[in-house]
Amino acid sequence: MINSLSDLAFDGRRVFLRSDLNVPLKDGKVADDSRIQASLPTLKALLDGGAHVVLASHLGRPKGEVNPKYSLEPVGAYLAEMLDIEVKLTDKPVGDAARQVVSELKSGEIALLENLRFNRGEEANDEGFAKDLAKLCDVYVNDAFGAAHRKHASVYALAQLIPERAAGLLLEKELEALSKLRSNPEKPYVAVLGGAKVSDKIKVIEALLDKVDALIIGGAMANTFLAAQGKPMGKSLMETEKLAMARSVLSRAEEKGVKLMLPVDLVIADSIEASDARVVPVDAVPNDAMALDVGPQSMRNFSPVLLAAKTVFWNGPMGLFEKPAFSQGTMSMAKAIADCKGLTVVGGGDSLAAAKQSGLSEHFSHLSTGGGASLEFLEGCTLPGVQALEL
């Protein structure tokens, strides 16, 4: 059993809130506040409940060392301005100074611990580091879905040290949406996979083959599958060492009666600079060209399948969508999924950016904030950060 916020009392108590505030920074400022926004409901609930909030997150990969480049200072400043309250940032995640800041908190105030990954103990799931964090709180709340697949001290060892622990609102919402995909998804269930690599996502492909009625593959991932079918892919981004794996996926899909759909046409160019972008059938990619997006006929094939679906999961763009010349496939994929009346879930960092770029994000049922975590969950894994919350 896992507690919800409503199962615990917060008034006047020190509450450790593990959020995912790992936002992109630019020129020392928050460049995209999506993760902060997603963390707000739980943060506000705790503040309203009179908690002394001890807020903690990682940011980037400082590899166990204090590095001002990865300071949470811009995040603290952003929160302070948005909530119009003082946010006191500690110098380090643990230690005397952090303890001092936390001890001076009053109800409805926030202490923001400096980047958890400034301490080696975080990624090592170190018991000593977890105990130091435990000294800062009476109650533990994990709302960091994006970090739930990591066995790190703040999401794993610490949770088990604090008997009064709960899942935050975002974590609950993520698990609820993704659970619907994992157990008894309404059929037809269609998964759309794309992005850069097959190897990143092979485990989720395997797990999805047992669940879905159709699997649509696009992006550079499709290049590897097309090459596995013997199509010349020119200079396209693909994984030549994964052709056998792709062939085995193709034959297993057939055995299981899963309709596996690949592009029938591609947008190609001689380089990603693309002044010469053009559409060709999949078997006509010249040696000196690369496939950078799925073509319009492919999307005409995919769209009705998506429209008829009752459940859709999408991870991975259909092409190099960051460049307008190669964004058409991904944008029409976003449109096709947005038009579907069933449950539609999007996961993955770049996929989320693409969904936003399409301007249709409010037409999806759920945008998952955790890329790796959502894939691992759909693979059938028990996420360490969720397991550690069990009572």
Contact yes or no for 317/351 (Cβ under 8 A): yes
Q: Around Cβ 283, how many Cβ atoms within 10 Å?
A: 13
Judged by CB under 6 A, which of 90, 224, 315, 327 binds ligand ADP? 315
Contact yes or no for 129/122 (Cβ under 8 A): yes
Residue 182 annotated among the catalytic residues of the structure: no
Residue 349 annotated among the catalytic residues of the structure: yes
Contact yes or no for 160/36 (Cβ under 8 A): no
Nearer to ligand ADP, 220 or 340 (CB): 220
- x-or-dash pattern for ligand ADP, window 189-208, by CB under 6 A? -----xxx---x--------
Nearer to ligand ADP, 315 or 369 (CB): 315
358 binds ligand ADP (CB under 6 A): no
265 binds ligand ADP (CB under 6 A): no
Residue-wise DSSP of 256-318: HT-EEE--SEEEEESSTT-TT-EEEETT---TT-EEEEE-HHHHHHHHHHHHT-SEEEEES-S
Residue 197 annotated among the catalytic residues of the structure: yes
Q: Among the options 50, 60, 108, 349, which is catalytic?
A: 349
Window of 106-114, 139-147, 247-255, 315-323 that interacts with ligand ADP by CB under 6 A? 315-323
Nearer to ligand ADP, 147 or 159 (CB): 147
Dihedral, CA of residue 12, residue 16, residue 18 and residue 24, to nearest 10: 80
Nearer to ligand ADP, 5 or 320 (CB): 320
76 binds ligand ADP (CB under 6 A): no
Burial class (CB in 10 A: 0-12, 13-18, 19+), 48: exposed
Judged by CB under 6 A, which of 40, 124, 161, 237 binds ligand ADP? 237
Dihedral, CA of residue 37, residue 28, residue 315 and residue 334, to nearest 10: 70
Binding site for ligand ADP (CB under 6 A): 194-196, 200, 219-220, 237, 291-292, 315-317, 319-322, 348-351, 371
Point out the residues that are catalytic.
Answer: 35, 197, 349, 372
